[in-house]
Amino acid sequence: QVQLVESGGGVVQPGGSLRLSCAASGFTFSSYGMHWVRQAPGKGLEWVAFIRYDGSNKYYADSVKGRFTISRDNSKNTLYLQMNSLRAEDTAVYYCAKDARAVAGMNTFDIWGQGTMVTVSS
Amino acid sequence: AIWMTQSPSLLSASTGDRVTISCRMSQGISSYLAWYQQKPGKAPELLIYAASTLQSGVPSRFSGSGSGTDFTLTISCLQSEDFATYYCQQYYSFPPTFGQGTKVEIK
């Protein structure tokens, strides 16, 4: 069964840091690009970051560039999102999502995790 | 970035109705459009990609059409489990962007 399970969310003060993890199973993790997508409470979906299947390229939304870092460990089938200098506007449910096409990717998301909540508040 | 306008934002309908949701792009994207369904408290699910290709396991009452700048999601006969929020998403260029969502509620 294809599955993504996020962890690492919580409450953090403005300016603080948090690292999210996403454990993948049921598919060849090392063949797929992976994304983080977030959703602020009561709001729509916002793409955050992408990493190629082999980790060779990474892309970020302007809203998080320079503060967030996406990475992966293909030996552990795990995706990460290191979030630094957190702001109130980063408060959201963070989803990891699998790209729908192996290797080349297509930037659509066919498998999603259940999400992990990040709250930035003093 | 490419922006899209989804309409309507809220759609009230009854079981058995045929409903359509529109997504208009700020520039042409060929057929690089996907549709997602999201139920409260759950992650989104991919329904359609390439504007009209049904994702495996998605019921055939869902269909998508359009190309260029104008796209439509149609649910031919609304079922109780279809009451949810629907998002379009373009993947023609980086960054991938989503519409603001259409909530389909019970009339």
A35-74 pLDDT, tens digit each: 999 999 999 999 999 999 999 999 999 999 999 999 999 9
The predicted structure's pLDDT at residue B1: 87
Tokens in use for B16? 């058995």
Q: Flag whether pLDDT at B73 surpasses 90.
A: yes
Mutate to test the interface with A, among B35, B37, B86, B89 (most CBs of A within 10 A): B89
Whether residue A44 and residue B55 make contact (CB cut-off 8 A), yes or no, is: no
Q: Do B98 and A44 touch (CB under 8 A)?
A: yes
Query: Can you give the pLDDT at residue B83?
Result: 94
Residue A3 · residue A26 · CB < 8 Å: yes
* Res B5: pLDDT: 96
pLDDT digits (tens, 9 = 90+) for A27-45: 999 999 999 999 999 999 9
Q: How far is CA B33 from the centre of its chain?
A: 9
Helix or strand or coil: residue A88? helix
Q: Hey, what are A11's tokens?
A: 């409450």
Rounded CA gap, B66 and A92, in Å? 32
Using the predicted structure, report yes or no on whether residue B65 has a pLDDT greater than 90: yes
pLDDT over threshold 90, residue A10: yes
CB pairs under 8 A between A and B: 50
> How far from each other are the two terminal CA atoms of chain A, in whole angstroms?
40
Which residues numbered 51-80 in B keep a CB inside 8 Å of some CB on A?
A: 55
d(CA B28, CA A26): 36
Residues of A (35-74) whose Cβ lies below 8 Å from B: 44-47, 59, 61-62
The arithmetic mean of pLDDT across residues B45-56, rounded, is: 98
User: Region A17-24: what's the mean pLDDT?
Assistant: 98
Q: Would you state the pLDDT for residue A104?
A: 85
For residues B2-28, average pLDDT = 96
Q: What is the pLDDT of residues A78-96, one digit of tens each?
A: 999 999 999 999 999 999 9
Nearest to B49 among A59, A95, A108 (CB): A108
